[in-house]
Amino acid sequence: MRDVYVAGIGITTFTRLEFALSEIASYASMMALKDAGITEVDQVYVANMGAPRVNHQTALASAVVDSLSLTPAGAAAIENGPASGGSAIKAGFQAVASGMDDVVLVVGVERMREVNGLEATDFIATLTHPIAEYIYGVTLPAHAAMFTRLYMDKYGVTERHLAMVGVKNQNAALNNEWAHLQQEISLEGILDSPEAMTNNPYVAEPLRFFDACPVSDGGAAIILVSEEKAKELGRPMIKISGVGQATDTHAVHEREEPTDLLAVRKAAADAFEMAGLTPDDVDVAELHDAFTILEIAESEEVGFFPKGEGHLALERGDTALGGKIPINVGGGLKGRGHPVGATGVAQAWEIVTQLRGDGGDRQVEDASVGFTCNFGGFGNNVVCLTFEKEA
């Protein structure tokens, strides 16, 4: 298997975007192509979840590859729920590692604000089990809420811990010009003051408004290349050293221990094993905080902290910029936004930015090993990646 490097990255602002879906994908892609200094690729993978349903568009990859004048390169869309981005990176990795392609563009994109919030919630809810979950009115916030309650009862996580994750990540987004939320929040404003319950109402008890990521439009792109091509292009040598993907039961109630996220555990362990790294080697991590509880739970399952102690690490400041293992320093899904298909690629974008030392006010000092966890379904399809900077 050949080594695979990231030679270019690009991103759009995550917000409500009044552009066609393929244009959003193309903007991010153009930045990545320019960053890498190339105008041709062998293959394009487009990560997207909602085009057919939300944007009434199918065969999105054909639109994107032509819009970028990259024809006759191969092109395909990858739909894998909220893990579409990570899955497309994995496909691109395999294409380069196998020797089949030398240059692959991976772009993730979503335009969810084309419909109203309730319809967007319903669109995401269609990833749940059709008969055992969806028909009951289950939404992703509902799944996260039921998971949170179990976590609270078992491990002593409180609403304050959840709010601390929200404050940390939303305020981190202030250092990221591409992030959706650009408003500073405080524990006082969303938890402690008399107005807090008005500012921060329940979405699905015990989760509140500020425990959930926003509904965003946006795109993110990376260029994957072989070692030979990477050296030729002369960009910083950022290697994807580990790739892990794992699945779990479709219906959440079928899991033996409902507080375990076994797919996260296995995907992370596989990525670390492939890279020859351990969780302690990681300098900066992007975890899939679609809901605040997920950052806490994933920080345990990927191996940064013992099970049940993620909230204690949060209290100690271990996960903040300057802490032992800074998590979501670019805002995470909570602050950056969560255009579903784009998220896994945006996580890679942030890690590459960090490993290049281009993080500005959010730069993690001397970052040379990065990690991403892209969480699909409610934990039923997860992709983890490790990134390493080479001298």
Partner 1 sequence: MAREIYAYKCRLCDTMHYPFRMVCKNCKQNDFFEFDTVPLPRDGKLLTFTRVYNLPPQYEVPTLGLGIVELENGMRMLGQLDIDEPKAGMAVKGSVEVVREETYDDFYGMVFRSA
CB of 205 to partner 1, least distance (A): 5
Shortest separation between residue 131's beta carbon and partner 1, angstroms: 5
Minimum CB distance to partner 1 smaller for 221 or for 294: 294
Q: CA 351: distance to chain centroid?
A: 11
Q: How far is the CB of 63 from partner 1 (least distance, A)?
A: 28
Q: How far does CA 132 lie from the centroid of its chain?
A: 27
Q: Which is nearer to partner 1, 117 or 156 (CB)?
A: 117
216 in Cβ contact with 113 (< 8 Å): yes
Cα 382 to Cα 374: distance, rounded to the nearest angstrom: 6
Minimum CB–partner distance for residue 135 and partner 1 (Å): 4
Cβ distance to partner 1 smaller for residue 129 or 338: 129
Pair type for strands 369-376 and 284-286: parallel
CB 254 to partner 1: min, Å: 7
Q: How far is the CB of 73 from partner 1 (least distance, A)?
A: 37
8 A C-beta contact, residue 327 and residue 295: yes
Q: Using the minimum distance from each CB to partner 1, give the nearer residue, 109 or 146.
A: 146
Q: Which is nearer to partner 1, 201 or 322 (CB)?
A: 201
CB 83 within 8 A of CB 376: yes
Query: Residue 207's beta-bridge partner residues?
Result: 204
- Cβ distance to partner 1 smaller for residue 149 or 307: 149
Chain residues binding partner 1 by CB under 8 A are: 117-119, 121-122, 125, 129, 131-133, 135-139, 141-142, 145-147, 149-150, 153, 201-207, 251-254, 258
Tokens of 368: 């040379």
Q: Give the whole-angstrom CA distance, residue 364 versus residue 387.
A: 14
* CB 123, min distance to partner 1, A: 9
Q: Is the CB of 131 or the CB of 391 nearer to partner 1?
A: 131
Distances from the Cα of 325 to the Cαs of 87, 239, 260, 285, 390, in angstroms? Answer: 25, 20, 22, 7, 20
Closest contact distance (angstroms) between CB of 53 and partner 1 is 13
Q: Does an H or E element contain 36, and which? A: helix 21-36
| CA dihedral of residues 244, 250, 254, 255 (deg, nearest 10) | 20
Tokens read off for 367: 């970052």
Residue partners of 247: CB distance under 8 A and separation at least 6: 263, 380, 381, 382
**What is the identity of the amino acid at 369?**
V
Q: Output 163 or 327, the one with its CB closest to partner 1.
A: 163
Residue 146 CA to residue 141 CA, distance in Å, equals 9
Closest CB to partner 1 among residues 223, 340: 340
Q: Encoding tokens for residue 101?
A: 């392609």
Distance CA 223, CA 319 (A): 29
Q: Are 330 and 336 in contact (CB under 8 A)?
A: yes
Least distance (Å) from partner 1 to the CB of residue 253? Answer: 4
